[in-house]
Each structure stands twice: as structure tokens, then as C-alpha cells.
């Protein structure tokens, strides 16, 4: 094993890591936003909204992420062509980002829903007794407390998404793992670069998991 070529390759590997982090951050933000909407729909007294959200969550939690990524990359352009009659390439980054947001939203939805349901129902009644609307109660009373409780779970799911970003190699997007693999193939040292990539993923994920546990103790109510 010869790891001497890894240091000269670090600038290129960093570009791949930047792509990985960009996908993760944007995927988390979009997934939490969509997941919150889905959670409110699932908790709605409107059976149509509740059933639609439940169908969405159950569907995306029942299929592999790799299938969602490849479907968006290969199938969506054909759908858009059938609708618009024109070729509309969406690109590897956009297709992967949309896939991550829609897939992770199903998991974030359940986290947010559990967080909302953990808040005593008396707080909803007290806020409405003060004249607050349902929207104001959720925005000012329920959701701030719920997000405090579920922050560790949201961060834990974000770590999982960080690891799942490695699946974008299937559509040729140059993330950290793909950059390491490609560089290793060019130099003729694929094993060394893949071992290094695994070490980096382990180090970041393990450190983040420890921080999440510390944060969980700090935010405990």
C-alpha cells in the first residue's frame, strides 16, 4: 500500500467533498421544508390531505434511494419531453438534488410529526384560547418546541444523507467518493484511494454522531 499520492490529489478530492456537502445541505434544507408540510398534512383533520401525505411517505419509504436517483435522471427528461414536446435536460446535480429532497422528505416528515405530537395538546388549546389562529399556534408555539426536541433526530438523518450522497456515482456526478475512485484509477492506486475515502466518511460520520449525542443531552427537556 502506497498512500503518498493522496496528498497531491487533495485539491481535486476537496472539490468532490464540496459537491457532497452541497448536496447534503441543500437536500436537508429542502427535505425538512417539504417534510414539515407533509407532517402538517398528515396531522390535518382533512382526510384527503392526510391520506395523500401518508401515501407519499409510505411510497418513498418503501423504495430504495438508488432507484429514485436513477429514475429522476433517466425518466424525468422523457416525461418532460412528452409534456412539452421539447428535450429538457435537467442535469445530474439537479436530478440528484430533487431525488434527495423528495426521498428524505418522507423520513423528515415522520420525525417532524413525532415532534409535533410530543407537545402536550393543552398548549394548542391555550394558544387558541388566547385568540391565536391554527397557523399562528403552529408557527409561534408548537413548531419551535417540536424542532427543539427533534433537532438531534434531524441531524442524525442528515448524517445518513451525507453517507447516501455516495450513490450519485450512478449518474456520473463527481462527488467525493467518485472523485477518489476516479483519481485512484488514473494513478493506478484504486485501493489506496478507496480506503482513504472510507476513512474520511467514517471520521466525519463518527464525529458528527458524537456531536449529535452531546447536543441531545444539552437540548433534553
Gap between the Cα atoms of 19 and 27, Å rounded:
12
Residue 194 falls within a domain, yes or no?
A: no
Gap between the Cα atoms of 48 and 2, Å rounded:
60
The band of 220, judged by pLDDT with boundaries at 50, 70 and 90, is low
Question: What are 10-20's pLDDT values in tens digits?
Answer: 888 899 999 99
Residue 68 falls within a domain, yes or no?
A: yes
User: Mean per-residue pLDDT for 156-163?
Assistant: 93
Residue-level pLDDT at 118:
86
pTM for the complete prediction? Answer: 0.87
User: Mean per-residue pLDDT for 178-206?
Assistant: 90
Closest CA to 99 of 153, 33, 164, 189: 164
Residue-level pLDDT at 88:
64
Q: What distance, in Å, lies between the first and last C-alpha atoms of the chain? A: 50
Residue 5 falls within a domain, yes or no?
A: no
CATH number of the domain that 56 lies in?
Answer: 1.10.3720.10
User: Nearest 10 degrees: CA dihedral of 122, 125, 131, 136?
Assistant: 80
Q: Residue 1 pLDDT more than 90?
A: no
Gap between the Cα atoms of 11 and 55, Å rounded:
44
Question: What are 32-53's pLDDT values in tens digits?
Answer: 999 999 999 999 888 999 999 9
Domain count, the chain: 1
Q: Which domain holds residue 151?
A: 21-123+130-173
Q: Residue 58 pLDDT more than 70?
A: yes
For residue 35, give the C-alpha cell.
Answer: 417534510
Residue-level pLDDT at 6:
85
What would you report as the CA-atom Rg of the chain, rounded to the nearest whole angstrom? 21
Amino acid at each position: 500500500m502506497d498512500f503518498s499520492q493522496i496528498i497531491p490529489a487533495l485539491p481535486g478530492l476537496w472539490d468532490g467533498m464540496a459537491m457532497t456537502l452541497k448536496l447534503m445541505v441543500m437536500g436537508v434544507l429542502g427535505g425538512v421544508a417539504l417534510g414539515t408540510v407533509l407532517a402538517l398534512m398528515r396531522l390535518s383533520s382533512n382526510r384527503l390531505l392526510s391520506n395523500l401525505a401518508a401515501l407519499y411517505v409510505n411510497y418513498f419509504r418503501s423504495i430504495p434511494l438508488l432507484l429514485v436517483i436513477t429514475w429522476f435522471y433517466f425518466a424525468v427528461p422523457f416525461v418532460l419531453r412528452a409534456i412539452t414536446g421539447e428535450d429538457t435536460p435537467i442535469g445530474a446535480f439537479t436530478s440528484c438534488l430533487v431525488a434527495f429532497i423528495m426521498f428524505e422528505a418522507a423520513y423528515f416528515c415522520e420525525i417532524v410529526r413525532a415532534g409535533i405530537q410530543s407537545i402536550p395538546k393543552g398548549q394548542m388549546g391555550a394558544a387558541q384560547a388566547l385568540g391565536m389562529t391554527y397557523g399562528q399556534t403552529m408557527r409561534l408555539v408548537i413548531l419551535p418546541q417540536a424542532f427543539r426536541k427533534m433537532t438531534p433526530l434531524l441531524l442524525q438523518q442528515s448524517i445518513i444523507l451525507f453517507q447516501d450522497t455516495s450513490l450519485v456515482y450512478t449518474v456520473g456526478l463527481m462527488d467525493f467518493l467518485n472523485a477518489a475512485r476516479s483519481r485512484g484509477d488514473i494513478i493506478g492506486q484504486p485501493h489506496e484511494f478507496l480506503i482513504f475515502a472510507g476513512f474520511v466518511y467514517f471520521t466525519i460520520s463518527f464525529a458528527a454522531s458524537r456531536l449529535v449525542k452531546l447536543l441531545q443531552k444539552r437540548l433534553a427537556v
